[in-house]
Structure 1
Amino acid sequence: MSSAPLEARFGMMELNNWTIFSLLDREFAAQIRLACVFGNLGNEALLVTRDDEVFALGSNGAGCLGQGDMHSSLQPKQIEPLCYKKVVGFAYGSGPHVLAYTESGELYSWGHNGYCQLGNGSTNQGLSPTLIQNSLTGRKVVSVACGSHHSMCLTSDGDIFSWGQNNCGQIGSGSTTNQSTPRKVSAPFNGRKVIAVTCGQTSSMAVLENGEVYGWGYNGNGQLGLGNNINQLTPCRVTALQGIVITSVVCGYAHTLAVSDEGALYAWGANSYGQLGTGNKANSCTPIKVGDDLGRIVEVAATHYNHISAAITQDSRCYMWGQCRGQSVVGPTETPFTSLHDVFACFATPSVTYIPMETEVTSGPSVHDSLRMAFDDSTTSDVQFLVDNKNIHAHKAVLKIRCEHFRSMFQEHWEEGSIEGCIDIRHFTYPVYRAFLKYLYTDEVDLPPEDAIGLLDLANSYCEQQLKRRCERIIKQGITVENVAMLYATAIKYQAKELEEFCFKFSLNHMTAVTQTEAFTKLDEGTVKDFIAKAAQSGAFKS
């Protein structure tokens, strides 16, 4: 699987797909590292440059440009209170209001505040970013989320704080009284940490470290997934997902999507535009498994601003459904995109970013493009590799620049295995070795998970640590109950600690099924003993 689409679905894309950025100076645009589009018409934007300056442009609804006034602007204007604070993320309510948090965990808010959604203890509109303190003092914010008029943040210690409008219980306080400052959401999480939060228009969801999902707030369309349409004033567990380890949840205006650690997709809530992807327009108050024919899902996207859904699969195919440019698309429809952001730029109404995006602006052919075209080009190559009786053409200079192994190989005295400029490779397969050479030219890894194990072996042999980590990431996305034991042993063999830990945690979540697989029975005695001891220390066998 290519790493380029992977990077694309985490936000790498051109700004040109977003109309609001069409007037940006190219030199300025090239310096942007983070961008987001919001507003009820998709006509407001925030930008963070590589020099850590923060800018805003657009219509300035409710003062959301953070300039201290109500003036709109077609050109970026600096938000001075946020400059050089190392802003790493934003969230925006459709009220509208904005939250921004920094690398150090500080949280700022500004915009509409009629329902206390800025968390500053008042209902006064905020025209400039203001640091939120009170109960957050001493806490490190690591994630933020907004509904239409309520706000939430997640702290580094796994606690949720919420504030703002609470007419439906969306801040989870046990009442329907608006909350003017952040207050910790008390819930029966049994000491487990929260790892993710998300908001619908007037609802809230959270994912715990063990994969459980909780919801609270408005439930008129079944968007909490509780099997009923009753509003909830405190977090309630989505029991229909018991036994399924959920890793991510996103909310649309009134629907919810979730992905499990095995790449299964679940949907529930409002479906008047087909946003659940079930093939019809019937609401569902309990989670429904959808998209079985799509393959493994690795990321989904939705936002409370609209009724569109999108997903990317393990093999980098991008799908969308729901309200797509005014049309109701009732089932996942494949797109030519490689980024979820492209779906929202081109088909969402309004066109807003579902999360802030990292940006990349290109201007004509690049060095990267030139190297890509040079790979396996027989007209310019000066060395060949013979693998499984197939030739791969390359360039010694490129290989020496990119890889220590080849720097040693191409010393003048090195001749082993070389016949008239053709090097015979016998320890790796053609797909694996070709993928490795292509990686040196493109920085992409073009292999499916099942072949990435061979590439991990090569990366380990050639001491290519970055490639090794890339292989681990690809292998993670191919983990199943049937193969996790084999992958766990492979990770130990190649000293891939992060992959080893990932396989171990996956096995804990599916312990009974994993221990009954053929792959588990083939583990050597020492590995099994170490696994059982480690599982026992993690409490796997407690009654």
Structure 2
Amino acid sequence: MEEELPPFYGESAKPVQATPSSLKMLDVGKWPIFSLCSEEELQLIRQACVFGSAGNEVLYTTVNNEVFVLGTNCCGCLGLGDVQSTIEPRRLDSLSGKKVACLSYGSGPHIVLATSEGEVFTWGHNAYSQLGNGTTNHGLVPCHISTNLSNKQVIEVACGSYHSLVLTSDGEVFAWGYNNSGQVGSGSTANQPIPRRVTSCLQNKVVVNIACGQMCSMAVVDNGEVYVWGYNGNGQLGLGSGGNQSTPCRLALQGVRVQRVACGYAHTLILTDEGQVYAWGANSYGQLGTGNKSNQSYPTPVVVEKDRIIEIAACHSAHTSAAKTQGGHVYMWGQCRGQSVVLPHLTHLSCTDDVFACFASPAVSWRLLSVEPDDHLTVAESLKREFDNPSTADLRFLVDGKYIYAHKVLLKIRCEHFRSSLDNSEDDIVEMSEFSYPVYRAFLEYLYTDSISLPPEEAVGLLDLATFYRENRLKKLCQQTIKQGICEENAIALLSAAVKYDAQDLEEFCFRFCVNHLTVVTQTSGFAEMDHDLLKNFISKASRVGAFKN
């Protein structure tokens, strides 16, 4: 069985650790909470963490190092100075301009954040002193925690349900908060209201990685040893027994050098320097990946495949585990969308973060997502940049007295018309009079970008071109643009264009729009100037669908 929570915990008592990741693209759209943000806002995001008992809160940073928050704001966990929920992103002014290095959160929830300068800020739920400010009052705004940390640079943070750990640049661990099971590592079970260094057998050790379970703590030291302390009711300390530990205790792992540790709700994963994974603790959903649902109180190998593992992931809000191999394969096991997956399952996902966005309940981040500036351009991005670039072009189109610069080889690759017309041509200038400059420029740009950006009236001209060049995909894009831009004033003109270019789906759409807005449409200049045959057909068809009935 999973460890039972004290009565005050409730359903939300599931802490989640969030440590930095580095991704080429930050695809936050997989987390439902981000559907509240506009496309423009999403483009600016450089770091993000989704948290809360239902994945209903989020903190993110932008390209300008501004910090924004959004969500239900339970216990003031958004740091805005109140407990009001918000469905629109609000700027967290007290942290804007500071570079966020790492962030973690607990079940209240409470937040522990460290900046790139090594400063620590906390806010949110604080009934058990988990904010480290010496009080038990909820923190509605970020509070700078300097007690015993003023001369230290914090490089990693971790939260349990109601306790907190930080790791400093000199390898020291400080802890505070709820301590009923010894998770603060002080040797007692008294709550710790301010940061205190975790000593005992860590006194002369250099710690390189920390993690928190629900009510336990873990530390990896520079020689590959793992030290554990706190609650052990499901064997999540990996000591072979079920007794709690109030001070750090070394894990017995002969011949194994550990690089990282990750804590789930009540289970633990470690990654060795040889790319092997071991797991222990609760296993009622198969989260240990051992092929059964039996708990393990000592490290047990997880067999993924011959390829070495380079990343492990676990999240306190769900009984789910994930791993990524050197070859880029992502595996998941444990509770996945309500199913118990007892062996590592190969997914089609590209990163472990997606496992928790798509398969864990709630959909939260298991770490702070980050995207680093990347000067490398994909092939598609490079082609977009070269459109209408005179310095690299070998072909010019002269349209309405203006030049559009292009590349012969790309046009021949992308368009059947140019494959034949440019095949034996040595001309570097092509005069074009059949189509307007905006239309022809949009067509050439489409060949470079696979997209169009035109008002619906211009899209009509592009629809003509797409029909002439037999570019069926472009034809569909034009129809989509026209549908999105239709209004009472232009409806008749767009209907006429659809009929002219035999775009039957678009014709039906425009006709329905005109019928649904018949009174206004019949008063427009477009209707007054309507072609006689088209008007006759329109009235006939509208009559058949009952448009003129009282």
Structure 1: how far apart are the matches of 2:340 and 2:329?
21
Give the corresponding residue for 1:289: 301
Which of 196, 220, 244 is equivalent to 1:207? 220
Cα offsets for 1:189-213 (capped at 9, x unmatched): 3622000000010011110000000
Specify the SS of the correspondent of 1:83.
coil
Count of residue correspondences:
370
The corresponding residue for 1:369 is 380
From 337, 358, 363, the equivalent of 1:346 is 358
Equivalent residues in 2 for 1:390-401, closer than 5 Å: none
Residue of structure 1 equivalent to 2:230: 217
Structure of higher CA gyration radius = 2
**1:294 to partner: Cα distance:** 4.9
Please report how far the alpha carbon of residue 34 of structure 1 lies from its aligned counterpart in structure 2 after TM superposition: 0.3
Specify which of 106, 115, 126 is matched with residue 119 of structure 2: 106
Structure 1 distance, partners of 2:304, 2:83, is: 48
What residue number does 1:238 align with?
251
SS at match of 2:202: coil
Take 1:279 and 1:343, find their aligned partners in 2: how far apart are those partners? 19
Match status 1:314 vs 2:332: no
| Equivalence for 1:181 | 194
Looking at structure 1, the residues matched to 371 and 71 of structure 2 have their Cα atoms a distance apart, in angstroms, of 18
Structure-2 change in CA distance of 1:368 and 1:24 (3 Å): farther
Per-residue CA deviation, residues 341-365 of structure 1 (Å, 9 max, x unaligned), is 110100011111010102599xxxx
Partner of 1:95: 108
Deviation per residue, 1:359-386 (Å, 9 max, x gap): 599xxxx864255999xxxxx9x9xxxx
Distance (whole Å) between structure 1 residues aligned to residue 21 and residue 114 of structure 2: 23
Rate the CA distance shift 1:145–1:271 in 2: closer, same or farther, 3 A. same
Give the Cα–Cα distance (whole angstroms) in 2 for the partners of residues 142 and 71 of structure 1.
31
Pairwise CA distance, 1:169: 0.4
**Maintained 8 Å contact 2:101/2:155:** no
Task: Pick from 32, 43, 55 the counterpart of residue 45 of structure 2.
Answer: 32
2:286 counterpart residue number: 274
Describe the superposition over 1:411-467 as per-residue Cα deviations: whole angstroms up to 9, x where unpaired.
xxxxxxxxxxxxxxxxxxxxxxxxxxxxxxxxxxxxxxxxxxxxxxxxxxxxxxxxx
Q: Is the 8 A contact 2:120 2:154 kept in 1?
A: yes
Q: TM-score, normalised by structure 1?
A: 0.65
The percent identity for this pair of structures is 53
Q: Report what 1:72 is aligned to.
A: 85
Name 2:540's counterpart in structure 1.
Answer: none
SS at match of 1:134: coil
Counterpart check, 1:257 vs 2:275: no
Are the structure 2 counterparts of residues 229 and 38 from structure 1 closer, same or farther at C-alpha, using a change threshold of 3 Å? same
For structure 2, the 5+ residue unaligned runs are 1-19, 386-391, 395-406, 411-550
1:56–1:65 Cα contact (<8 Å) kept: yes
Distance 1:129 1:295, change over 3 A: same
Runs of at least 5 residues in structure 1 that lack an aligned partner in the other structure: 1-6, 375-379, 383-394, 399-543
Query: Partners of 1:9 and 1:309 in 2: how far apart?
Result: 19
Q: Does 1:125 align with 2:123?
A: no
Q: What residue is the counterpart of 2:172 in the other structure?
A: 159
Show CA shifts across 1:443-495 (max 9, x none): xxxxxxxxxxxxxxxxxxxxxxxxxxxxxxxxxxxxxxxxxxxxxxxxxxxxx
Match of 1:336 in 2: 348
Partner of 2:419: none
More displaced stretch, 116-125 vs 11-20? 11-20
What SS class does the counterpart of residue 136 from structure 1 fall into? coil
* Separation in 2, partners of 1:270, 1:332: 16
Q: Aligned in 2, Cα 1:115/1:349: closer, same or farther, shift over 3 Å?
A: same
Give the stretch that moved more between structures: 81-90 or 53-62: 81-90
